[in-house]
Amino acid sequence: MIVATAGHVDHGKTSLIKALTGVDTDTLAEEKARGLTINLGYAYLPSSNDRVIGFVDVPGHHRFINTMISGVSGIDRALIIIAADDGPMPQTSEHLNVLSVLGVADIDIVITKIDAVTPERVVQVAQRAQELVDARCESEGEVFQVSSVTGDGIDALKSHLESLPPKGRDQALKRGFRLSIDRRFHVSGAGLVVTGTASTGTVSVGDHLILQPKGLEIRVRELRANDVMVKSAVAGQRVALCLAGKVELGDIDRGDCLVEPTLDQLSQRLDVELTLLSDAPNALKHLLPVKLYIGARRVSAKVALIDKGISLLTPGQTSMAQLILDAPISAYSGERFVLRDDSESFHLGGGVILDPNGPQYGKAKPERLTWLSALTTGSVDTALQYLLINNVTTNWSDLTRAFHLKEGAAMPTLPDTAVKFDLNRSTWITTRSAITDARQALLDALNDEKAQESDSRGVPREKLINLAGTAFNSALLEATLTNLIKTDVLGVTDGRVHDAKTRNKRDGNERHWSSLERQLQTAGHHIPVLSELQRDAQLDETSFKLALKYGIDKGFLHRINATRYALTPTLLDFAEMSESLASEHNFSVAGFKEALGIGRKLAVEILEFFDSINFTQRKGNERTISNPRAIRSRLKL
């Protein structure tokens, strides 16, 4: 268990920790000279049940509020320290505000310096302290009256802390390892050391981690948890890691994070649930510049209000929002944060991160807000249940990434109403109802487009998905369309989707055309009349007509006259021969017939066709080339 002291400067926080543990957490010469805490201090109290209680001593002076916030991030419990002689002071309220927005619900009140005042004064201060805590936090902590000088009340406080049950961290342990660095220094004979409270996961000696945001890879050489040399440490422990790798002290800043390599992702837009403090001096406007405190990190940001109908957040109000950061940071769903005004004069509020990968566009769409509402449930299992209840199609990787889960996290047992499918290397989860709605939307879109357009070839695949509507997840539409095609409800030809009957009909026409085409290719320049062509292709009248239409629609076949049709290459051969004959002199039917080795009747029919399209021009019994481009124009070449 990690316990932090909080309260006004000179109210005895450091002295109390020394009385409890025997450790003086003021280690800097300046701290001893000035009699106030400047940096974070740490001490440990071994308990009788083999547990260790870690104490974080934070500065009380308002000038060091940034350090105080980094020290209480990730703690389990707080001791709000109030001197009996002074009573509650400005930093008392300020620190309580920080604890409330960080979600620290377990707060014990410790009235110090009771040896310096009357018992009546102690009772009066304790009452005022309780009222102050009750106004800001929902805490069920106790009140203790102590003196670090005489030792009165110290044993009672120590016994209370030792009797508390361990903090449940099942959800945190399911996640990948993450530590926000609050101190970094060199140790003689050991090397570079960083410390922090492990917020999630497990780490062991020899593990490789990524230093964010710089992306440097390091290895854990040695490890201490709660000031004891260990092989492994877990979420909730104060951890010191001795680092190996190509990293130097100057590469590390307070607030940098160490994470498992599979969780190496940075965030620059955080979708959050934000609460403005009830005693905030002003309302919060859309896109207001602020300072964000998260873990041990401080970064400038803007607040975009995304809840429907909210353009101004008033004191005490809660809303969905997106924090747009000036610099990328490491973050995960469920992590708490604090907001201060841009000049860092006062606290605005804080809240909890819902999705560390907020979108730039569509951040306020209804389906996006539904997704964020699911993340407020606090665990991946309950979030998935919420999404399924609301008929939302979910990318399992996106959900596990939001919660910072380890790679390959097991999917919970799905209800009978749910279905999972794989698409584009991702696993998606949806409901049978959503699939039914998507199926109908696709069929309706296809029918509507078919009724409006004369193109019988169908609708391009991507266009059909767009026509089905933006109300549906695109992956759901893609998977549903694939299934409709696979089960022969719909067909697709040349990238166009159509109903299965049309596809079967088109496939049949294509087979008939292939038979007819083979006969015309075999005939070469000796183009048969239609009756002979039908006979040789062995097609009934209907199939023959459909094959002719298919060839004409595709541009493979051209009508010469009522009884003869020719393939494109055959007509081009006739045209080239005509041009060759005309290059020397005008040519006759006889010359054309002889050059191609065809019958007179066919030669006349071909030349009359050429005359009709103005490719040739008849002058008596001879012809000339009238328009050389006419034949290619007619054949659409």
What confidence tens digit (pLDDT) does each residue in 483-518 have? 998 888 888 877 788 876 654 455 556 778 888 999
Q: What are phi and psi of 304, to 5 degrees?
A: -100, 120
Instruction: Classify residue 338 by burial, with Cβ atoms within 10 Å: 0-12, 13-18, 19+.
Output: buried
Q: What share of the chain is helix, strand, coil (3-state, %, to 5)?
A: 35, 30, 35
| 586 residue type, one letter | N
Both tokens assigned to 536: 């040789």
Band (pLDDT 50/70/90 cuts) for residue 28 is: very low
d(CA 508, CA 319): 61
Burial 525-547 (b: 16+ CB within 10 A, else e): eebbeeeebbebbebeeebbebb
Q: Which of 363, 359, 387, 393 is nearest to 373 (CA)?
A: 387
Q: Is the pLDDT confidence value at 615 over 70?
A: yes
CA distances from 607 to 611, 635, 636 (A): 6, 16, 19
pLDDT at 38 over 50: no
CATH architecture of 171-263: Beta Barrel (2.40)
CB 68 within 8 A of CB 6: yes
One-letter amino acid identity for 231?
A: K
Paired residues of 337 in beta bridges:
351
pLDDT band at 187 (very low <50, low <70, confident <90, very high): confident
CA–CA dist 176, 198 (Å, integer): 11
Amino acid at 116: A
Task: State the residue for tokens 């002295």.
Answer: 15
Write out the H or E segment, with its range, that includes residue 517. Answer: helix 500-523
User: pLDDT for 113-164, tens place per residue?
Assistant: 999 999 999 999 999 999 988 888 877 789 999 999 999 999 999 999 888 8
The confidence band for 85, taking pLDDT boundaries of 50, 70 and 90, is very high
H/E stretch holding 612 reads: helix 600-612
- Residue 406's CB is within 10 A of a number of other CB atoms, namely 18
Distance CA 298, CA 291 (A): 7
What is the reported pLDDT for 528? Answer: 94
pLDDT digits (tens, 9 = 90+) for 312-328: 999 999 999 999 999 99
The Cβ of residue 187 has, within 10 Å, a number of other Cβ atoms equal to 11
Q: Which pTM does this prediction carry?
A: 0.72
Nearest to 66 by CA among 333, 331, 347: 347
Half-sphere exposure of 346 (CA within 13 A, CB side): 12
Q: Give the closest residue to 251 by CA, choosing from 325, 326, 194.
A: 194
Average pLDDT, stretch 175-188? 88
The 3-state DSSP class for residue 465 equals helix
Amino acid in position 386: Y
Alpha carbons 457 and 446: distance in angstroms, whole number: 12
Structure confidence at residue 449 (pLDDT): 73
Query: 10 Å Cβ neighbour count for 119?
Result: 10
The answer on pLDDT for 467 being more than 80 is yes
- Residue in 612, 634, 625, 501 with CA at minimum distance from that of residue 568: 634
Residues 573-598 pLDDT 10s: 999 999 999 888 899 999 999 999 99
Mean confidence (pLDDT) of the chain: 87
CATH class entry, domain 2-163 = alpha beta
More confident residue, 607 or 495: 607
Ranges of H-type helices in 61-169: 65-72, 90-101, 119-136, 154-163
pLDDT at 283: 92
Q: Would you say residue 234 has pLDDT above 70? A: yes
CATH for 267-368 is 2.40.30.10
From 636, 618, 611, 616, select the one nearest 628 (Cα to Cα): 616
Interstrand relation of 41-46 and 564-567 (parallel, antiparallel or unpaired): unpaired
DSSP secondary structure code for residue 226 in this structure = T
SS3 373: helix
Q: Are 73 and 296 in contact (CB under 8 A)?
A: yes
Question: What secondary structure letter does DSSP report for 405?
Answer: B
CATH architecture of the domain covering 513-634: Orthogonal Bundle (1.10)
Contact of 10 with 83, CB cutoff 8 Å: yes
Domains 171-263 and 267-368 share a fold: yes
Exposure string of 34-51, with b = 16+ CB inside 10 Å and e = fewer, is eebbebbbbbebeeeeee
**Distance between alpha carbon 594 and the CA centroid of its chain, in Å?**
75
Could you state, in order of their start, the residue ranges of all structural domains in the chain?
2-163, 171-263, 267-368, 377-487, 513-634
- Quick check: helix, strand or coil at residue 303? strand
